[in-house]
Amino acid sequence: MTRVLTRSDLLSVLDVGSCVEALREGFRNDDHIASPGSRVRGGLLFPGTATVLVPGLFPGVEACSVKVNAKFPGAWPALRGVICLHRGADGALLALLDSATVTARRTGLAAALGPMSSLTTAQGTGAPVVGVVGAGAQAELVVNGSCHFRDLQDLLVHNTVADRAADFAGRHGG
């Protein structure tokens, strides 16, 4: 039976701490993956692109993924697609996952992982100052991922719409 995992299903199980640790482990083991993924990208007949990423491998797991996305710059979210999880032994389709949710989690939390895992404290105060450019979904994940590592002293937010930056900063103590 194929499982279908929607955005709300994924958000209920993909907590920030577990995602950050999985990303950290993935970066550590990247050079141990026998078959790196490849990307095929093409244009569409209307504004947008289609991308297929194959294969996604999981060390120690007998499964692989194929990610199919369509990107529509004028839409929100701009990226929409599905990740297909296949059993390695026979290719059976095990699950379909909302690609936009997984991709946003991976991108936003990976952006927090590098600097926050090795960041020194700001002016000896014990808590770092974090700055984000943009006040959208990715910025939310960068801030939430950063808080996984340590308390933030301050948050600086820049966005092309000042009210949106102020609202974001207010929600996160910036």
Q: Domain coordinates of the chain in residue numbers?
A: 3-106, 120-171
The confidence band for 128, taking pLDDT boundaries of 50, 70 and 90, is: low
**Has this prediction a pTM greater than 0.85?**
no
The confidence band for 143, taking pLDDT boundaries of 50, 70 and 90, is: confident
What is residue 11's predicted lDDT score, i.e. its pLDDT? Answer: 93
Topology of domain 3-106, CATH: ornithine cyclodeaminase, domain 1 (3.30.1780)
What is residue 13's predicted lDDT score, i.e. its pLDDT? Answer: 94
pLDDT at 35 over 70: no
Percent of all residues in the chain with a pLDDT value above 70, rounded to a whole number: 87
pLDDT at 148 over 80: no
Q: For all residues of the chain together, what is the average pLDDT? A: 84
Mean pLDDT is highest, among 4-8, 104-108, 157-161, for 4-8
Other Cβ atoms closer than 10 A to 172: 19
CA distance 133 to 116: 16
pLDDT at 121 over 70: no
- Kindly state the helix (H) or strand (E) to which residue 21 belongs, with its residue range: helix 16-28
- Mean pLDDT, to the nearest integer, of 64-74? 90
Phi, psi of 93, deg, nearest 5? -75, 110
pLDDT at 8 over 70: yes
* Cα separations in angstroms, 32 against 25, 59, 76: 11, 8, 36
pLDDT at 122 over 50: no
- Mean pLDDT, to the nearest integer, of 82-103? 94
